Amino acid sequence: MKIAEGNELLLIRYGELGLKGKNKSQFIKRLAQNARAQLRGVPGTQVHSSWGRLWVETADAPLAIARLKQVFGIYSLSPVISVEKDIDQIADAAYKVLKKALPNGGTFKVESRRADKTFPITSPELSRTVAGRLFARLGDDYDADMRNPQQMLNIEIRAEGAFVFCETSPCAGGLPVGCSGKAVVLLSGGIDSPVATWMAMRRGVVVEAIHFHSFPFTSEQSKDKVVTLGKMLAQWHGAPIRLHVVHFTEIQRAIYANCSEEYGITIMRRMMFRIAERIAKQRRAMAIYTGESVGQVASQTLESMDTINAVVDMPVLRPLVAMDKEWIIKYAQEIGTFETSILPFEDCCTVFLPKYPKIHPKREEAEELEKNLDIEALITEALEKTEVMLLK
């Protein structure tokens, strides 16, 4: 494969896409498109798609790799040296690659794959020949180890050429964003919902975020925090994330004034879901994602989920449902949202927090209490005052 002088070549692997049968080519197209979007501005960079593989040619490999690690659908990547299908050139490239990966000596193993069967040498033979050439040049600090080598050296013979590499870095996995339709996510400023958003995107879902803001009970800073989180998540989205900031103050006031305190959280969350469903339908989104996990807080018991879910007619997906807080925190740290999430700004849920929230709320009781509210008018007003931003 020909690349520009001085550029490096990255081999991109996608795992699960292979399972998608007829849709496969569309998935690959999407992946290439997302990779291109993510690599915009990286000098000398081009994405090539050929023979069921993606290749990235770049003048700034470290930056390109960092960006590609935020592209869902990529399972791993390797910086490769591309040469002619010629044994001298392959052995020479192998020497360079191995010297770079193991500069001070150590054990290695050569492994070859011959996707192009017209190449006259079999894989085991090629490995042996290249290993022989390496020993002739490397000196005593290097040794072969077939069982437990410090370093694998890989050779792939493909239609486009021969490729030699040592390193394989794991990437984000999942499916390319845009392969699985659109959903809305309820994004608070907490630890959980950014992780839930990340997981939605990781399965190929395009997301729009909804945040409920109760100014002046919650500050401008708490909104800024959500904007910051949204921008971080947008880096994984491959495109700006649309954030709907819903003006929630009047709804919270009305609930506080007209419904019994112990049902405050339940009814507040029913209002959130109703509004989320309206926005989802307007925006042609097919599901609502939240950061809930069974048993974490009073509003996350099975009874609460039942009573809260009852007001919507669309799937409510909770990717964190089975996760302990410690696991969620680990993800948040890896994604990079944790430090922002723990900044101490109040959330609308905490403002009117009842002393004894109902842990096992009932649908019928919630419905009864809601008769004291003009639900339609409250929703309409909140939607009218919704502010929309594009986060990139």
Which residues contact ligand ATP (rule: CB under 6 A)? 186-188, 190-193, 210-212, 290-292, 296-297, 299, 347-349
Helix (H) or strand (E) holding 374: none
Taking alpha carbons only, the member of 283, 310, 301, 305 closest to residue 367 is: 310
Residue type for position 297: V
Contact status, residue 137 vs residue 100, Cβ threshold 8 Å: no
Query: Hey, which bits of 300-386 come out as E strands?
Result: 316-317
Closer residue to ligand ATP, CB minimum distance, 8 or 292: 292
290 binds, among Mg ion, ligand ATP, none (CB under 5 to 8 A by kind): ligand ATP
Contact status, residue 252 vs residue 86, Cβ threshold 8 Å: no
Render the burial of 52-63: b for 16+ CB within 10 Å, e for the rest: ebbbbbbebbee
Q: What angle do CA 192, 195, 199 make, to 5 degrees?
A: 135
89 binds, among ligand ATP, Mg ion, none (CB under 5 to 8 A by kind): none
By CB under 5 A, is residue 291 in contact with Mg ion? no
186 binds, among ligand ATP, Mg ion, none (CB under 5 to 8 A by kind): ligand ATP
211 binds, among ligand ATP, Mg ion, none (CB under 5 to 8 A by kind): ligand ATP
Closer residue to ligand ATP, CB minimum distance, 297 or 377: 297
3-state secondary structure of 80: strand
Closer residue to ligand ATP, CB minimum distance, 351 or 375: 351
Size of site (CB under 5 A) for Mg ion = 3
Closer residue to Mg ion, CB minimum distance, 303 or 346: 346
DSSP one-letter code for 83:
E
Q: What DSSP assignment string belongs to 43-55?
A: TT-EEEEETTEEE
254 binds, among ligand ATP, Mg ion, none (CB under 5 to 8 A by kind): none
Residue nearest to ligand ATP (CB): 190
Contact status, residue 90 vs residue 154, Cβ threshold 8 Å: no
Q: What DSSP assignment string belongs to 132-143?
A: HHHHHHH-TTEE
CA gap 235, 193 in Å, rounded: 16
CB of 299 to ligand ATP, least distance (A): 5
Taking alpha carbons only, the member of 272, 319, 269 closest to residue 297 is: 269
222 binds, among ligand ATP, Mg ion, none (CB under 5 to 8 A by kind): none
Closer residue to ligand ATP, CB minimum distance, 110 or 206: 206
CA gap 93, 110 in Å, rounded: 13
CA gap 373, 267 in Å, rounded: 10
CB of 339 to ligand ATP, least distance (A): 14
Residue window 320-349: x/- pattern of binding to Mg ion, with contact defined by CB under 5 A: ---------------------------x--
Closer residue to ligand ATP, CB minimum distance, 79 or 190: 190
Closer residue to Mg ion, CB minimum distance, 57 or 347: 347
Closer residue to ligand ATP, CB minimum distance, 133 or 269: 269
CB of 329 to Mg ion, least distance (A): 14
CB of 191 to Mg ion, least distance (A): 8
Residue nearest to Mg ion (CB): 190
370 binds, among Mg ion, ligand ATP, none (CB under 5 to 8 A by kind): none
Helix axes 264-282, 249-258, angle to 10 degrees: 150
CB of 344 to Mg ion, least distance (A): 13
Interactions with Mg ion, residue window 183-242 (CB under 5 A): 188, 190
Closer residue to ligand ATP, CB minimum distance, 142 or 248: 248
Peptide bond into 216 cis (omega under 30): yes
CA gap 193, 204 in Å, rounded: 17
299 binds, among ligand ATP, Mg ion, none (CB under 5 to 8 A by kind): ligand ATP
CA 159 to chain centroid, in Å, comes to 32
76 binds, among Mg ion, ligand ATP, none (CB under 5 to 8 A by kind): none
Residue numbers of the site for Mg ion (CB under 5 A)? 188, 190, 347
